[in-house]
Amino acid sequence: MSAFTHLPLGQRIPPSLHGVSCSLPTMHAVIGYEEKNPEVTKHLTSGYPRFVVHPFAKQAGAHLLRTQPALAGHSLWLTSSRRAAERLRNHLASPDVRLLEDGPLTGVAFPENAELASRAKTFLQHTGMFLSSREAEDYLIRVGELSAAYPEQSFEGYAAGNTRYEASNAAPTAESGSPSMDSVVRRSRSSRATNSPIASEGSQARLAAATRSASGRPAQARARSIVDEGSPRTRSRPRSRVNSSTASSARPSAASERPRLR
């Protein structure tokens, strides 16, 4: 009996609208994907953002083309930031390429041109500056194309992140004492064993090194040293969301929604 669960061809991995991979369960499917076999590619619903434009990004571009007469007959390439759009415009180096801005949404537009479109796609593929699916989703909510964001389970962080949280709370106060660093380390190890069985040895080594180097300093300083340690991958930035219940009232006027072409 196989230890792996069969996933149908094309199923998103993870099973979320924002999943960035999909199932290719057989070698036939893998070869068909590489050879662009329509019998395989028609089942693909998602893929790595450098190679597959997310349906939300396509929907955002279609909304702009449909609602803005100035963009009729244009190719539109949405980017992750204004800086990315400026770099793409500079790379294409054509007087026909214009910068597009519609609130936080940015990109470039130019009259349909196969050569420019190919170069734009290659540039965004190799730089990873395509518009993200979640930013596209936020835009679609803002303009009324979507009613709410796709529900997602939040991620509480790796064990090292939990360790930093516990250590920061271990600093002593005037009103109460604090647990010893030994107890913080013991809890962090227990957290690793329970919550992150595949935690890297490197993160454990960094924790141990931070604890050793902090010995001899006050408890608050020792706690801070643990707080400052850890891999950058444990740091996450919350993504702002548009509240669907107030999206319509917060929506700007029609005049202010008009994208700017430069």
* DSSP state string for the chain: --SSPP--TT-EESSSTT--EE---SHHHHHHHHTT-HHHHTT-----TTTS--HHHHHHHHHHHHH-GGGTTEEEEEESSHHHHHHHHHHH--TT-EEEEETTEEEEEEE--HHHHHHHHHHHHHHT-BPPHHHHHHHHHHTTS-SSPPP-------HHHHHHHHHHTTS--SSS----HHHHHHHHHHHHHHH-TT--HHHHHHHHHHHHHHTTS-HHHHHHHHHH-S-GGG---PPP---TTTHHHHPPPHHHHSPEE-
250 and 131 in one domain?
yes
Number of domains comprising the chain = 3
Query: Is residue 35 one of the residues assigned to a domain?
Result: yes
Q: pLDDT class for 252, splitting at 50, 70, 90?
A: low
Any residues with CB less than 8 A from the CB of 253 and at least 6 apart, and which?
A: none
Phi, psi dihedrals of residue 130, rounded to the nearest 5°: -65, 150
Amino acid at 82: R
pLDDT higher for 21 or 46?
Answer: 21
Residues 128, 203: Cα–Cα separation, whole Å:
28
pLDDT(224) > 80: no
Among 194, 200, 196, 186, smallest CA distance to 230 is for: 200
Query: Is residue 187 one of the residues assigned to a domain?
Result: yes
Q: pTM for the whole thing?
A: 0.55
145 and 75 in one domain?
yes
256 and 129 in one domain?
yes
72 and 25 in one domain?
no
Query: Is residue 114 one of the residues assigned to a domain?
Result: yes
145 and 66 in one domain?
yes
216 and 87 in one domain?
no
Q: Which two tokens stand for residue 183?
A: 């107890």
227 and 187 in one domain?
yes
182 and 143 in one domain?
no
Query: Is residue 6 one of the residues assigned to a domain?
Result: no
Domain limits at 174?
A: 159-234
Reported as a single tens digit per residue, the pLDDT across 143-171 is: 999 999 888 877 676 655 555 555 455 45
Query: Is residue 7 one of the residues assigned to a domain?
Result: no
Query: Is residue 3 one of the residues assigned to a domain?
Result: no
Mean of the pLDDT values across residues 245-261?
53
Query: Is residue 178 one of the residues assigned to a domain?
Result: yes
226 and 166 in one domain?
yes
Q: Do the Cβ atoms of 68 and 107 come closer than 8 Å? A: no
pLDDT(240) > 70: no
Query: Is residue 118 one of the residues assigned to a domain?
Result: yes
192 and 84 in one domain?
no
201 and 164 in one domain?
yes
Residues 81, 130: Cα–Cα separation, whole Å:
9
219 and 198 in one domain?
yes
Q: Do the Cβ atoms of 247 and 141 come closer than 8 Å? A: yes
Return the C-alpha torsion angle 82, 83, 89, 93, nearest 10. 160
pLDDT(251) > 70: no
